[in-house]
């Protein structure tokens, strides 16, 4: 186990000087038990409710988080390390669906604004098997949160609202158990999970089919653990307040605003919101849970779909490749660099994220949350990340700005096996010694080593290989 004595020093670098661009942010609460559906945690985590900002002096303060900062020049991305082999990663993904270890999976890798791989593996449904391809739609669960931060940031960039705008200015009826807290709560607080409530407040009620609007009313009786902006605790219901703010600001329903301003301009043609959206897809992956010695498919539950900002998006791996290209700065016509810098800057420290899976325990030196994104120090390299999990679906997305690299993995089962793909690829990108994060046939790597030198990323640019998504528009 490596030492954590330098964690705060690493977090200071991560939060204040290690960014490509610095921040420009102009029932009762649930106990910390196993994560609820819609949360992205891979194992139970004891958060003790909150992480006080007073104990994380290296993170951006609440006051500084809304002050524009001068932009720093963007460094030229470093090349991927030798041994970065896209076909090897594809073979690993294929091995995961062999013998239905997981029913279906889709993976995309983008580099310098180009798609190196975007394809599907396995099947959509064990009961009515169709192959997963680049346009098969998956439910994203909490991978929806970065879309909420991004659409809000677009409105902030246009001057329609501010990061420090108060939620009650757009939702005058909002009440919290502390009346002063309701008046204090800001847009940035909501998007960075600094509402002041206990972790996952009312998620269990959502799972019992409660209505979102009823739960918003019940926030007035939910216990507060701190004042807004002063502590971190992951939310789904409270996070979705941002949808009401977007509606009040733009005059468009939240899902309509994201569709018109993000999905369509980026060419995310398979993307949608809600249960109706995924069921209307030409091809979509059914969720799977364990049944005896295998898998059984289910009808998706509508519960977390009621929280559109927190967990409402459906998308294919082709869509997610375009989303990564934009989030890595290659679609400034839609998402300009200053906006991305703001969204992807950590505001509050989240140290528990450093210990809830094996790769995080070994690789992470610091963790924080920005505006819909997690931000990690991954063995000295900045990684922008989010995960998602809801019954029968899971997904991970990571971007490493230093290498201009993005990775998304989506799968249609509750298995944790594919989670190791992401750290495996990140390790290869920066040249770390291989770790066995992934339970795949060890002969796969041996076979690829024997076939000669790994192909360079340039060999894959433009999605020219079969089964890959189209190249990004120039």
Instruction: Say how far apart CA 259 and CA 228 lie, in whole Å.
Output: 30
The answer to whether residues 140 and 272 touch, using CB atoms and an 8 Å cutoff, is no
Give the Cα separation of 66 and 342 in Å (integer). 10
For Cα atoms 161, 65, 15, give the angle at the middle one, nearest 5 degrees.
135
Q: In this structure, how many other beta carbons lie within 10 angstroms of the beta carbon of residue 293?
A: 5
436 by Cβ neighbours in 10 Å (0-12 / 13-18 / 19+) ranks as exposed
Q: Which of 260, 308, 356 has its CA nearest to residue 140?
A: 308
Distance, CA of 474 to CA of 457 (rounded, Å): 18
Q: Are 269 and 319 in contact (CB under 8 A)?
A: yes
Q: What pLDDT sits at residue 115?
A: 98
Distance CA 126, CA 123 (A): 7
9, 373 Cβ separation under 8 angstroms = no
Helix and strand counts by DSSP (H, E) for the chain: 17, 15
The ranges assigned to domains in the chain are: 1-474
193, 212, 112: which is closest to 149 by C-alpha?
A: 193
Q: What is the pLDDT of residue 442?
A: 79
Helix boundaries (H) for 101-237:
145-157, 179-184, 187-191, 203-207, 212-218
Residue-by-residue pLDDT tens, the chain, 474 positions: 444 434 443 443 444 323 323 333 442 222 223 333 444 433 323 323 334 433 443 344 444 444 433 334 456 889 999 989 999 999 999 999 999 999 999 999 999 999 999 999 999 999 999 999 999 999 999 999 999 999 999 999 999 999 999 999 999 999 999 999 999 999 999 999 999 999 999 999 999 999 999 999 999 999 999 999 999 999 999 999 999 999 999 999 999 999 999 999 999 999 999 999 999 999 999 999 999 889 999 999 999 999 999 999 999 999 999 999 999 999 999 999 999 999 999 999 999 999 889 999 999 999 999 999 999 999 999 999 999 999 999 999 999 999 999 999 999 999 999 999 999 999 999 999 989 999 888 788 777 666 654 444 444 333 333 233 322 222
Class level of CATH domain 1-474: alpha beta
Q: Measure CA 367 to chain center.
A: 14
Residue 293, pLDDT score: 87
Put simply, whether the predicted model's pTM sits higher than 0.75 gets the answer yes
**CB 267 within 8 Å of CB 322:** yes
Judge residue 63's burial from the number of C-beta atoms within 10 Å of its C-beta, 0-12 exposed, 13-18 middle, 19 or more buried. exposed
Intra-chain end-to-end CA distance of the chain, in Å:
45
Q: What is the helix, strand, coil percentage profile of the chain, to 5?
A: 35, 20, 45
Dist. CA 196–CA 184, nearest whole Å: 11
pLDDT at 451: 63
pLDDT confidence of residue 434: 86
Q: Are 307 and 147 in contact (CB under 8 A)?
A: no
pLDDT, position 452: 53
CB 298 within 8 A of CB 289: yes
């Amino acid at each position: 186990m490596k030492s954590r004595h330098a964690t705060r020093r690493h977090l200071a670098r991560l939060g204040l000087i290690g960014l490509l661009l610095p921040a420009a942010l102009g029932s009762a609460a649930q106990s910390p038990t196993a994560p609820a559906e819609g949360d992205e945690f891979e194992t139970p985590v004891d958060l003790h409710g909150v992480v006080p900002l007073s104990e994380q002096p290296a993170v951006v303060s609440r006051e500084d988080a809304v002050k524009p900062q001068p932009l720093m020049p963007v460094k030229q991305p470093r090349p991927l390390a030798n041994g970065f082999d896209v076909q090897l990663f594809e073979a690993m993904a294929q091995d995961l669906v062999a013998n239905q270890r997981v029913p279906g999976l889709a993976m995309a890798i983008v580099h310098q604004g180009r798609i190196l791989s975007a394809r599907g593996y396995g099947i959509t449904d064990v009961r009515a098997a169709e192959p997963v391809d680049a346009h098969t739609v998956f439910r994203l669960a909490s991978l929806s949160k970065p879309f909420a931060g991004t659409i809000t940031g677009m409105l902030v960039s246009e001057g329609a609202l501010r990061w420090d705008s108060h939620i009650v200015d757009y939702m005058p009826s909002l009440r919290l158990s502390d009346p002063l807290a309701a008046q204090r709560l800001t847009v940035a607080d909501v998007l960075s999970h600094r509402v002041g409530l206990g972790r996952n407040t009312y998620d269990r009620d959502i799972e019992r089919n409660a209505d979102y609007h009823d739960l918003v009313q019940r926030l007035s009786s939910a216990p507060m653990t701190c004042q807004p902006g002063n502590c971190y605790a992951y939310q789904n219901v409270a996070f979705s307040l941002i949808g009401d703010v977007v509606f009040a600001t733009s005059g468009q329903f939240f899902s309509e605003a994201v569709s018109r301003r993000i999905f369509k301009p980026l060419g995310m043609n398979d993307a949608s919101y809600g249960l109706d959206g995924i069921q209307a897809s030409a091809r979509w992956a059914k969720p799977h849970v364990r049944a005896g010695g295998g898998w059984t498919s289910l009808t998706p539950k509508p519960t977390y779909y009621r929280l559109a900002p927190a967990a409402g998006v459906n998308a294919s791996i082709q869509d997610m490749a375009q989303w990564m290209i934009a989030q890595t700065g290659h679609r400034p016509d839609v998402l300009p660099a200053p906006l991305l810098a703001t969204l992807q800057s950590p505001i509050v420290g989240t140290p528990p994220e450093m210990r809830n899976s094996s790769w995080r325990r070994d690789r992470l030196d610091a963790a924080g949350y920005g505006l819909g994104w997690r931000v990690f120090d991954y063995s000295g390299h900045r990684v922008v990340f989010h995960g998602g999990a809801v019954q029968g679906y899971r997904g991970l997305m990571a971007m490493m700005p230093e290498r201009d690299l993005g990775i998304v993995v989506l799968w249609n089962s509750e298995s944790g096996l594919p989670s190791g793909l992401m750290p495996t690829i990140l390790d290869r990108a920066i040249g770390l010694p291989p770790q066995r994060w992934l339970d795949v046939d060890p002969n796969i790597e041996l076979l690829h080593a024997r076939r000669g030198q790994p192909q360079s990323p340039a060999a894959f640019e433009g999605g020219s290989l079969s089964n890959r998504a189209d190249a990004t528009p120039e």
